[in-house]
């Protein structure tokens, strides 16, 4: 079920289409469809030819994070006015959700699902940790390229440890490390980037008449930055935006393929190498994405909202399952505590209600 939902969420090449759209702002023109096809093929080649897939992915994401932080640092100094900084308390306390009439609750659900990672991406955190060699991951081979990587022994389903005092002590040390890594490299960066990119938009295009309610507002924002700061900064804004969206598309194809390969390898094709399944899924996603783009479904906002809504539905389901697993399956020393259980309960309620409202709203439009 999760493999199918993840594929359905990520068949739509919304991130690649968004990146292609921003590339046309840089070049002054071009066909978004064919640029999207080119980006998707590049993604397939990067993930296929990298000797160790995770290493290539991590390097691309590190460049992305560094570029975005550079943009935010420069933008905070030269592009965000003192008036915008002064309005920050009001912006936060009086926030409104801009509901697109044709999307309604779907847009709200998608925004909440994608505010952090969302959808199946949360389920692949341990898979990436495995490929980094952290914790028990040192005992399981990483996904390597069938072209440039060195073959490794096929992994078993996995390894477990007896919950002795010594082992639980090691587990707690590992759990603290994993929490810190997520807090510093994911939660903090996510918070800062959402805050500053939103503030940058507020300082440049908020209240501007005729502003498009789609990715086209980024073109307007870049033009405003060119006028107010300088041509170099508007161009930098588009370059970093295009690369960031491309890196997001790269990560999405990777995590979708990882999740599907893990599910199929563990439960349905135990004699098949996980890497083989992974690369097959990569190219299925790439080629189907090309077909969708060539068929004319190239509106980034609609594609991204479809993807996010499926992700929100997944979060509703697996948040409940995580509570169940922690209460009924895991040994006492490994279970999450009351605070995390409450957060998961909130996730079940939030995404459950939004899933129902979105479904009712969209079906009402069809019938």
Rounded CA separation 149/48 (Å): 10
Question: 146-202, pLDDT tens digit by residue?
Answer: 666 565 545 555 667 788 889 888 888 888 888 888 888 788 888 888 888 888 888
Rounded CA separation 161/175 (Å): 15
Rounded CA separation 334/171 (Å): 8
Please report the pLDDT score of residue 14 as a whole number. Answer: 81
Question: 174-183, pLDDT tens digit by residue?
Answer: 888 888 888 8
Q: What is the dihedral of CA 243, 107, 256, 47, to 10 degrees?
A: -10
Q: Residue 259 — pLDDT band, cuts 50, 70, 90?
A: very high
* Start-to-end C-alpha separation, the chain: 27
Please report the pLDDT score of residue 49 as a whole number. Answer: 82
Please report the pLDDT score of residue 131 as a whole number. Answer: 80
| Mean pLDDT computed over every residue of the chain | 81
Mean pLDDT calculated for residue range 79-93:
78
Cβ partners under 8 Å of residue 159, min gap 6: 136, 139, 140
Rounded CA separation 170/231 (Å): 54
Task: Give start and end residues of each alpha helix (H) in 79-164.
Answer: 82-86, 88-93, 105-114, 125-132
Residue 165: CB atoms within 10 A of its CB come to 7
Rounded CA separation 258/264 (Å): 10
Q: Residue 301 — pLDDT band, cuts 50, 70, 90?
A: low
Cβ partners under 8 Å of residue 196, min gap 6: 72, 75, 76, 80
- The H-or-E segment that residue 248 falls in is helix 231-267
pLDDT above 70 coverage of the chain, percent: 85
Where exactly are the structural domains of the chain? 2-104+116-158+167-298
CA–chain centroid gap for 238, Å, is 20
Of 8-12, 248-252, 265-269, which range is least confident?
A: 8-12
Residue 240: CB atoms within 10 A of its CB come to 19
Of 78-82, 149-153, 178-182, 275-279, which range is least confident?
A: 149-153
């Amino acid at each position: 079920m999760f493999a199918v939902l993840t594929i359905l969420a990520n068949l739509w090449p919304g991130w690649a289409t968004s990146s292609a759209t921003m590339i046309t702002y840089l070049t002054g023109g071009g066909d978004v469809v064919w640029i999207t096809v080119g980006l998707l093929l590049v993604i397939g080649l990067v993930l296929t030819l990298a000797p160790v897939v995770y290493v290539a992915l991590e390097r691309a994401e590190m460049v992305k994070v560094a570029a975005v932080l550079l943009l935010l640092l420069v933008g905070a100094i030269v592009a965000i006015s003192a008036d915008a900084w002064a309005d920050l308390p009001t912006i936060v306390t009086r926030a409104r959700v801009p509901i697109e009439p044709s999307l309604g609750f779907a847009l709200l659900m998608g925004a909440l699902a994608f505010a952090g990672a969302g959808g199946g991406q949360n389920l692949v955190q341990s898979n990436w940790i495995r490929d980094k060699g952290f914790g028990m991951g040192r005992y399981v081979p990483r996904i390597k390229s069938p072209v440039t990587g060195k073959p490794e022994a096929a992994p078993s389903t996995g390894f477990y440890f007896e919950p002795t005092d010594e082992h639980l002590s090691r587990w707690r040390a590992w759990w603290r490390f994993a929490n810190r890594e997520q807090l510093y490299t994911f939660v903090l960066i996510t918070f800062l980037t959402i805050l500053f990119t939103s503030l940058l938009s507020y300082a440049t295009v908020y209240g501007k008449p005729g502003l498009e309610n789609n990715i086209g507002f980024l073109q307007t924002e870049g033009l405003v930055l060119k006028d107010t700061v300088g041509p170099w900064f508007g161009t930098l804004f588009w370059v970093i935006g295009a690369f960031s969206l491309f890196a997001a598309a790269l990560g999405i194809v990777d995590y979708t393929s990882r999740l599907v390969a893990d599910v199929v390898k563990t439960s349905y094709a135990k004699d098949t190498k996980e890497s083989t399944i992974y690369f097959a899924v990569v190219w299925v996603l790439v080629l189907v994405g090309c077909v969708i783009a060539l068929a004319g479904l190239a509106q980034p906002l609609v594609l991204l909202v479809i993807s996010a809504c499926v992700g929100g539905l997944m979060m509703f389901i697996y948040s409940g399952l995580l509570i169940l697993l922690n209460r009924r399956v895991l040994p006492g020393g490994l279970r999450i505590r009351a605070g995390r259980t409450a957060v998961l309960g909130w996730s079940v309620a939030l995404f459950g209600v939004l899933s129902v409202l979105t479904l009712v709203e969209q079906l009402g439009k069809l019938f």
